[in-house]
């Protein structure tokens, strides 16, 4: 009797797990007919940092998106895939709804959960039209036949289905909502920083499951790529960038130079390659929002 009861509970548990972890996608009628804006698609490409992860390493053309970069983490090594316009090795055969589901829902071409090394927890804030413009822009870029490499993850992180539970905790599905008490520049900056720019993905503390801690958002954290480094606090707190003005942030996003004249290095240097291509208005908007972030403690640990 007890064994039968245990079996029934196990079956019910597996059924619940299956239902709860079914990938969620956009409704079939979500994408209406429209004309794409290629210039806006290029802006989304730049602020989204697509080249930073997906450009083929050891070549100078940031528009050759053959993938291959390794992103190391406590969960294993993630391999950035080919997202070029090649129909077999890249995403050239993906439909527009499939691409939108990847960006906004973290669901891949074969209806599989995508790993959040791809920062869809931030991209979910993007406007659907911006995602669609990015899709069209990517299709104008060179097709590369380099095959994507498989991720190298340890058990149980190698089981994609479990990401359905992770998403229940960390993917709320809410788009960006402007703050009506703020001006247009602030809201544009908030959108770019929180959505396509995904700045919090690197500059925040994370919990044991890899989710961003709300109390540590933008307050710095361990380098996600497992190199033992520390990503700085960028809030206006004494532990962070309390002395930076809006103009300091603007200048940094344009040149990669800090107020004291130091030049940024490492992964942030790649970010600057993207932000320097934005319009001055967008850099100002990002700067205004960053300067207005809530100050949060987050001091760099000793020895980091």
Segments making up each domain of the chain, as ranges: 34-170, 184-291
**Calpha distance 299→277 (Å, rounded):** 31
Choose the weakest-confidence range: 7-16, 117-126, 131-140, 214-223: 7-16
Query: What pLDDT sits at residue 171?
Result: 95
Give the torsion sign (CA, 52, 91, 116, 191).
positive
Cα–Cα distance between 197 and 189 in angstroms, integer? 10
pLDDT digits (tens, 9 = 90+) for 168-198: 999 999 999 999 999 999 999 999 999 999 9
pLDDT at 71: 87
Report the C-alpha gap between 219 and 210 in whole angstroms.
16
Using a 10 angstrom Cβ sphere, with 0-12 exposed, 13-18 middle and 19 or more buried, the burial of residue 253 is: buried
Q: What's the pLDDT score for residue 304? A: 58
Is residue 113 a contact partner of residue 23, using CB atoms and an 8 Å limit?
Answer: yes
Per-residue confidence (pLDDT) for residue 267, from 0 to 100? 86
Q: How confident is the model at residue 3 (pLDDT cuts 50, 70, 90)?
A: low
| Whole-angstrom Cα Rg for the chain | 20
- Between CA 227 and CA 231, with CA 228 as vertex, the angle to 5 degrees is 95
- Distance linking the first and last C-alpha atoms of the chain: 57
Q: Over pLDDT 70: what percentage of the chain?
A: 91
Contacts of 81 (CB under 8 A, 6+ apart): 54, 67, 148, 149
pLDDT, greater one: 24 or 294: 294
pLDDT digits (tens, 9 = 90+) for 226-278: 556 889 999 999 999 999 999 999 999 999 999 998 898 888 999 999 999 99
pLDDT of res. 295: 97
Q: Please report the pLDDT score of residue 50 as a whole number.
A: 96
The pLDDT of residue 227: 58
Query: Helices (DSSP H) in 66-159: which residue ranges?
Result: 96-105, 120-123, 128-138
The mean pLDDT value for 51-72 works out to 91
DSSP state of 206: B
- Separation of alpha carbons 77 and 236, rounded Å: 33
Q: How far apart are CA 119 and CA 104, in angstroms?
A: 10
């Amino acid at each position: 009797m007890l064994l039968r009861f245990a079996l029934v509970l196990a079956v019910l548990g597996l059924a619940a797990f299956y239902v709860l972890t079914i990938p969620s996608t956009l409704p079939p009628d979500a994408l209406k007919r429209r004309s794409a804006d290629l210039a806006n698609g290029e802006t989304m490409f730049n602020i989204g940092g697509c080249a930073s992860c997906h450009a083929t390493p050891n070549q100078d053309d940031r528009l050759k998106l053959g993938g291959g970069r390794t992103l190391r983490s406590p969960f294993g090594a993630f391999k950035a895939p080919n997202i070029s316009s090649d129909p077999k090795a890249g995403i050239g055969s993906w439909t527009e709804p499939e691409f939108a589901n990847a960006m906004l829902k973290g669901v891949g071409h074969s209806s599989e959960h995508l790993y959040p090394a791809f920062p869809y927890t931030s991209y979910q804030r993007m406007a659907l039209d911006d995602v669609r413009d990015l899709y069209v822009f990517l299709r104008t870029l060179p097709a590369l036949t380099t095959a994507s490499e498989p991720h190298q993850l340890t058990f149980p992180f190698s089981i994609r289905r479990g990401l359905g539970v992770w998403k229940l905790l960390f993917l709320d599905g809410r788009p960006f909502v402007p703050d009506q008490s703020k001006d247009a520049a602030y809201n544009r900056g908030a959108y770019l920083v929180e959505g396509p720019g995904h700045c919090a993905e690197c500059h925040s503390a994370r919990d044991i499951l890899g989710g961003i801690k709300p109390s540590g958002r933008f307050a710095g954290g361990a380098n996600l790529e497992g190199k033992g480094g520390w990503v700085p606090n960028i809030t206006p707190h004494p532990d962070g960038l309390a002395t930076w003005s809006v103009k300091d942030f603007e200048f940094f996003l344009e040149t990669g130079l800090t107020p004291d004249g130091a030049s940024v290095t490492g992964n942030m240097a790649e970010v600057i390659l993207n932000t320097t291509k934005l319009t001055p208005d967008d850099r100002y908007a990002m700067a205004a929002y960053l300067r207005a972030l809530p100050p949060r403690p987050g001091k760099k640990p000793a020895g980091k």
